[in-house]
C-alpha cells in the first residue's frame, strides 16, 4: 500500500489502458459501484482516454510498481448552459485503498478543471458507499440529492447519490458571464506542471 508521497501523477495515455482495466474490472464484475455490465476491453478504454483528453483531464497515479489509480472528468450534461459543470470519477486499486491515492488524484484533477474555467464538479455514487462518501466529503463535496432505485445490478436495485463541489475561484464569480471553459490542450506546460506537482490545494 503506497503512501501518497510515493505516488506520481501524470496525464494518462492510451498505453495506460491495460493497467486501468486491471483496476476497473473488479468494480464492474463484483460490485454495483459501476453500473457497467461487463468490463470494457483495453481497446475500448484506449478510445475513452483518447476521446476525453482533448477537453477534460484523465489522470493516473503510479509508483515504481505501476499504475495504482486513475481519475477523470467529463461533461455533466450536453446542453450549452451546463458547459461550466463537469462530472468526475476516481478509482483506486484495492491494495492501495486508504493510502491517499484518491485524494492526490482529485487534488490535481480539480486544480486542472479550475484552470480550465470550470465552476462546479459533480460526482455520482452508488449508496451505501462509506469509503467514497468519506473521500468526497474530505474533498469539499456535499450531497445534493439521491436518485432512488436508479439501477438494477447483481439482483438488487441501487440508489445513486449525487455530490457537488464548487471549484476554487468560482465562489466569487457572480457578476457578468463567466469565462468560457478552456480545452485541456489549451493549458500551458507550466499550468499542467503546477497542477500535477502541487499538493497544496483541496
Residue ranges and CATH numbers for the domains of the chain are 4-175 (3.40.630.30)
pLDDT of residue 2: 56
User: What is the rounded radius of gyration, in angstroms, for the C-alpha atoms of the chain?
Assistant: 16
Low-confidence ranges of the chain (pLDDT < 50): 201-202
Terminal-to-terminal C-alpha distance of the chain: 22
Q: What is the pTM of this model?
A: 0.93
pLDDT score recorded for residue 47: 98
Per-residue DSSP letters for 8-50? EEEE--GGGHHHHHHHHHHHHHH-SSS--SSPPPHHHHHHHHH
Q: Residue 202 has what pLDDT?
A: 42
137, containing H or E segment: helix 130-138
Cell of 191: 499550468
Predicted local distance difference test score (pLDDT) of residue 198? 77
Q: What is the DSSP letter of 178?
A: P
Amino acid at each position: 500500500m503506497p503512501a501518497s508521497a510515493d505516488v506520481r501523477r501524470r496525464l494518462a495515455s492510451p498505453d495506460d489502458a491495460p493497467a486501468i482495466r486491471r483496476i476497473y474490472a473488479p468494480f464492474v464484475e463484483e460490485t454495483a459501484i459501476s453500473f457497467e455490465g461487463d468490463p470494457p476491453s483495453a481497446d475500448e478504454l484506449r478510445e475513452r482516454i483518447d476521446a476525453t483528453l482533448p477537453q477534460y483531464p484523465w489522470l493516473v497515479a503510479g509508483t515504481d510498481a505501476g499504475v495504482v489509480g486513475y481519475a477523470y472528468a467529463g461533461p455533466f450534461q450536453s446542453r450549452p448552459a451546463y458547459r461550466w459543470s463537469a462530472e468526475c470519477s476516481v478509482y483506486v486499486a484495492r491494495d492501495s485503498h486508504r493510502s491517499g491515492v484518491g485524494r492526490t488524484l482529485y487534488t490535481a484533477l480539480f486544480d486542472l478543471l479550475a484552470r480550465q474555467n470550470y465552476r462546479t464538479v459533480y460526482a455520482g455514487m452508488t449508496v451505501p458507499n462509506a469509503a467514497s462518501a468519506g473521500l468526497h466529503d474530505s474533498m469539499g463535496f456535499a450531497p445534493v440529492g439521491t436518485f432512488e432505485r436508479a439501477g438494477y445490478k447483481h439482483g438488487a436495485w441501487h440508489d445513486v447519490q449525487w455530490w457537488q463541489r464548487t471549484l476554487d475561484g468560482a465562489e466569487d464569480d457572480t457578476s457578468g458571464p463567466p469565462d468560457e471553459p478552456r480545452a485541456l490542450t489549451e493549458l500551458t506546460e507550466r499550468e499542467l506542471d503546477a497542477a500535477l506537482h502541487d499538493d497544496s490545494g483541496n
